[in-house]
Structure 1
């Protein structure tokens, strides 16, 4: 199936090593070293010019124009194709809103037919699909041509998240602060994280977990290590995910393990609402230890997505209602 095309089947293929790496990016697009290098490149690069609110992102410039640029200003990704009718409604709207933004965010348009590796990396299942990138972090967005009011709500939440991350928007013509930022020394790398990330990139989940756990043994409150350890757990599960996880869950609605596997498959496919909704509904039906297991998986998802993801607060409320 071509990237971005809708599939007629509800099954989800078992993730390949490349898909597992892509899912890692769905939580954190770069390891500590990669983030440091990208931030340094972004600081040295000129800020977007005044009026440069829409760019065409490709496989060749994705690193510089999306990942590196996201350390200066939030970047919204619009994945589209010529044959996609809903894209013809959403893309012009996004371009209009980008023009109105005054440089507070940048729109990067991506033709999935011409840039299939990007679509595969992002696990795009249908188009139009929208993501955002803030400081090298991929923020799940939405699928389909939403009404403008809902898109504006998403952008409002995105800018709030960017503000909390210290991004205040593009500086016109690369002046006022860019040179000073470029001269600032890069944050020194933590060798402990580097070795753990090396193990993760090599696919050695046990060694990566051991190294992150060693950090937590010394620093129990280290939130980055806590998040990384959860990420390793997710990637380990995805590496053995059955190819028919969602179909199997539909056939066995009372099998908790099957439902958890299906939620992981939906999360890997970036169908975040389906994954959260599945588990919240499961919490409503369960009691005892199984209910606790599902609740803990939901909490894991919340932490992996981050508090700035606009879908997390309502899902937390739904979970609270399901529990009480």
Structure 2
């Protein structure tokens, strides 16, 4: 499966058939559940998205009676740390490993080693490159989420001439590429379009989002639309916009669906965000490993865990939910 093929995967509703494995129990006659180790390797331990993912995986593992070993990179982009974590999990006898790759092509060798050792490997949130390097991917359709963000921004700007800033994440990850490209498609422009004022790398962090936004505003004070890779970067962008006195003049949008981000939408700091569901990814991943341990059955391909546009200022032609719904369904604190 190529990187682009997962973009065309059928989009699901947020709470539809994606619970396909959630009722599984450990099969009788197989090795006991407590002997099953599920590994989880996230990009970092501090990003609220991955904190929620780890909490959901831990809760699901306890419910199923299996052991979860959670590891993470030291920072967003720490490919070596994640490779070492997977090596350790192979040595520990993990039956399955759930991984959110910091670098979509940088972990191929260790993933191959794990699969050759009989370990089920599932990518959560971030696809590998190529996508079929893992057994399956449970994730948001990040290209479609980017399209939702960009489409909203363009429609909400109305007749204004667009001057766009791009606050990207970490180079080398499919999430960053898909969201960036999706935003451009939704906005109706292509890479290199003269309406793009500039871009900055934020690593999905609030402080780098603020610095990047300040630098871009210093170069071009006419920016009126800002793409952000996630809500921490958007929070940083808002701080920068406020310091320039431009917080009311810019169409700031994002992706995540964390409770803090939804509150920022409610408070008018972010115009709209696209909610995704990390707890669903993690729970489905644990279930898949349990089923594999019990029956030998492996999942395959890309499973879209859903996304919804959240805004209190809906635009015609785009389906969205308001922040009241968002606060009922968000993740994090």
- TM-score, L = length of structure 2: 0.28
Richer in helix (by share) = 1
Richer in strand (by share) = 2
- TM-score, L = length of structure 1: 0.29
